[in-house]
Chains A and B, each alone.
Chain A
Amino acid sequence: MNRKLVANELFKAFRLKKFYLFMILIGIVEVSNVLQYKAKGPEHIFLYPNGQSLAIQMVGGLPQIMVVFLAIFVADMMADELRHGTVKLTLLRQVGRRELLHAKIVSMFFFAAAMLLYTIVSSYVVGTAAFGWGDRTVFEGTSFPPAAGVYMTLQSALLSLLPYLGFGLLVLYIAIVTANMGITIGVALGLMIIEPIFQHSDALVNYSIISQIYFFHLQFWKDFSPGKMILSIAVICAYAAVFYLGSVSAFRRKDIAS
């Protein structure tokens, strides 16, 4: 792994205004949830009112916006660089294309991890400010002691990273092949739009990477089934492997014409 390449990719990512805009939007969603609960009560929004519970509820509810953020991030990082020619700045140096691709994948992983970590920290702050810390973590109708709740929240976030990585690699492949931000983001949104079809089919639901983003982390502590777990891991790894190999092959053969 070329550490300087990774450092470059992270430097570029963290200097993007989008990165901070995403954080603001996550904060707005959290505050909005709290305000809706306070105004309309538990009948209108499914939320357990204390600081330690809001975080895990946000991690569970984040996929809807995280999928879009990740698609925008990957499109910016790869499709936009291919289209506008900034990728040449790196490729005209002593850098292999596979090395650059790996650095971008690491950057994508850090982005997802940073967003999840931010969500947890900001949810604790917003939830505690609105309702107080509380004496237990409640999620999906089950109560946990505070320490177990915090551990479970972090574990859920960490486990979520695996399907986010699989999804990110799928988007990365599209970004390389099309070199078009609009198409890349559009395909990601398309996958979100058709997701209900998968969720309404017991035969298909396990094979959708978006479904895995929603449900993978829940399987470890809710209705644990080894068979289902192995299937989920196999599906996510299959997505990651197929689109990683596809990305490597497409990027190696890509003519940089910008």
Chain B
Amino acid sequence: MSGRPLLETRELTKRFGERTAVDGVGIRVEEGDIYGFLGSNGSGKTTVIRLATGLMHPDSGEVRIAGHNLKTEFKQAIGHVGAIVENPAFYPHLSAFDNLKLMANLIPGAGRRSVQQALETVGLQERAGDKVRSFSLGMRQRLGLAGALLHRPKLVILDEPTNGLDPQGMREIKELIVRLRDEGMTFMLSSHLLHEVEQLCTRVGVVHRGKLLMEGKVEDLLRSSEARSLEALFFETVGSGAAVR
């Protein structure tokens, strides 16, 4: 691992009325990581991802992607990112191919070939001409991943990427993530499925009630605690985090 940060958030804070959904979160995703962003439902994972991709605006704090400030250098920063944020949404009346082609049109140098390659990568080439409205959630997840990979980004952010996938689909996606990491991509995955993340991730961050409770390499975190698994560590940390409040 080079240790060069691809995604950094500093003191990221987001409030919805009286509620502080994200409270001073500072995460660091390094080049070559498969970074697991862990937290229970409603802990603030997706909000952090939305803030990190510019879909939401923070009340305070900063996001830097590959050294570019997301607010002031949006296009340079977001150009390094491919992302699925929450459910992968597509135009249901268009085919899988047309949906990806619309995305490819906005990427310099990407064309039909890039779309076909992305569909092949996620195993959807035979359904390329089918309308997305006929796709299962698992197929939409794959299509979302194809969209995120279209421009071969440095950093791929996937929000709950195994949602809706059957065990075979989950395994394929995990294998694909590892293969693409070996080809030089960096991943940030949010999940509440801790045993999956443990198998896959090199570093993790745990968020609870909008606060980052811990972050580090999986083996370092396990070594520094008495927990024998990430799941045990998570509940230990979240429990203590809750107790602080």
| Smallest CB gap from B47: residue in A | A257
Is B85 in contact with A88, judged by CB distance below 8 angstroms?
yes
Is B86 in contact with A4, judged by CB distance below 8 angstroms?
no
List which B85-121 residues lie within 8 A (CB) of chain A: 85-87, 89-91, 93-94, 98-99, 102-103, 105-107
Q: A256-B56, A257-B56 given as contacts; is B106 within 8 A of A88 (CB)?
A: no
User: Which one of A11-19, A38-46, A122-130, A228-236 contacts B?
Assistant: A11-19
User: Which one of B76-84, B178-186, B212-220, B224-232 contacts A?
Assistant: B76-84
Q: A4-B106, A8-B102, A12-B102 given as contacts; is B86 within 8 A of A258 (CB)?
A: yes
CB distance from A82 to the nearest CB of B (A): 11
B39 adjacent to chain A (CB < 8 Å): no
CA gap between A31 and B169 in the complex, in Å: 54
A142 adjacent to chain B (CB < 8 Å): no
Is A92 in contact with B83, judged by CB distance below 8 angstroms?
yes
Most buried by B among A4, A8, A88: A88
| Smallest CB gap from B53: residue in A | A92
| Smallest CB gap from A89: residue in B | B103
Number of contact residues on A: which range applies? 20 to 34
Number of contact residues on B: which range applies? 20 to 34
B75 adjacent to chain A (CB < 8 Å): yes
CB distance from A14 to the nearest CB of B (A): 11
What B residues does A256 contact at CB under 8 A? 50, 55-56
What A residues does B55 contact at CB under 8 A? 88, 91-92, 255-257
CB distance from B75 to the nearest CB of A (A): 4
What A residues does B53 contact at CB under 8 A? 92
CA gap between A91 and B106 in the complex, in Å: 10
Is A7 in contact with B105, judged by CB distance below 8 angstroms?
yes
CA gap between A89 and B106 in the complex, in Å: 10
Most buried by A among B83, B106, B107: B106
B235 adjacent to chain A (CB < 8 Å): no
| Smallest CB gap from B55: residue in A | A256
Is A8 in contact with B50, judged by CB distance below 8 angstroms?
no
| Smallest CB gap from B148: residue in A | A92
Interface SS majority for chain B: loop
| Smallest CB gap from B102: residue in A | A8
Most buried by B among A94, A95, A256: A94
Is A15 in contact with B87, judged by CB distance below 8 angstroms?
no
What B residues does A16 contact at CB under 8 A? 93
CB distance from B72 to the nearest CB of A (A): 13
Q: A85-B87, A88-B89 given as contacts; is B56 within 8 A of A255 (CB)?
A: yes
A200 adjacent to chain B (CB < 8 Å): no
Q: A85-B89, A94-B79 given as contacts; is B54 within 8 A of A8 (CB)?
A: no
CB distance from B6 to the nearest CB of A (A): 16
CA gap between A91 and B78 in the complex, in Å: 9
Is B89 in contact with A84, judged by CB distance below 8 angstroms?
yes
What B residues does A17 contact at CB under 8 A? 93
What B residues does A86 contact at CB under 8 A? 89-91
What A residues does B54 contact at CB under 8 A? 91-92
Selected from B50, B90, B107, the residue in CB contact (under 8 A) with A93 is: B107
CA gap between A88 and B144 in the complex, in Å: 11
Selected from B50, B74, B102, the residue in CB contact (under 8 A) with A11 is: B102
What B residues does A92 contact at CB under 8 A? 53-55, 78, 81-83, 85
What B residues does A29 contact at CB under 8 A? none
A253 adjacent to chain B (CB < 8 Å): yes
Is B78 in contact with A93, judged by CB distance below 8 angstroms?
yes
A90 adjacent to chain B (CB < 8 Å): yes
Is A257 in contact with B94, judged by CB distance below 8 angstroms?
no
Selected from A15, A89, A94, A95, the residue in CB contact (under 8 A) with B93 is: A15
Query: Told that A85-B85, A85-B87, A93-B103 touch, could you supply 9 new A-B pairs with CB distance under 8 A?
Result: A4-B105, A86-B89, A89-B89, A89-B147, A91-B54, A92-B53, A96-B75, A255-B55, A256-B55
Q: Which residues of B contact A (CB under 8 A)?
A: 50, 53-57, 74-75, 78-79, 81-83, 85-87, 89-91, 93-94, 98-99, 102-103, 105-107, 147
Would you list the 4 A-B pairs with minimal beta carbon distance, nearest first? A85-B89, A256-B55, A93-B106, A255-B56
7 A-B residue pairings within 8 Å (CB atoms): A12-B91, A89-B89, A92-B53, A93-B106, A93-B107, A94-B79, A94-B106
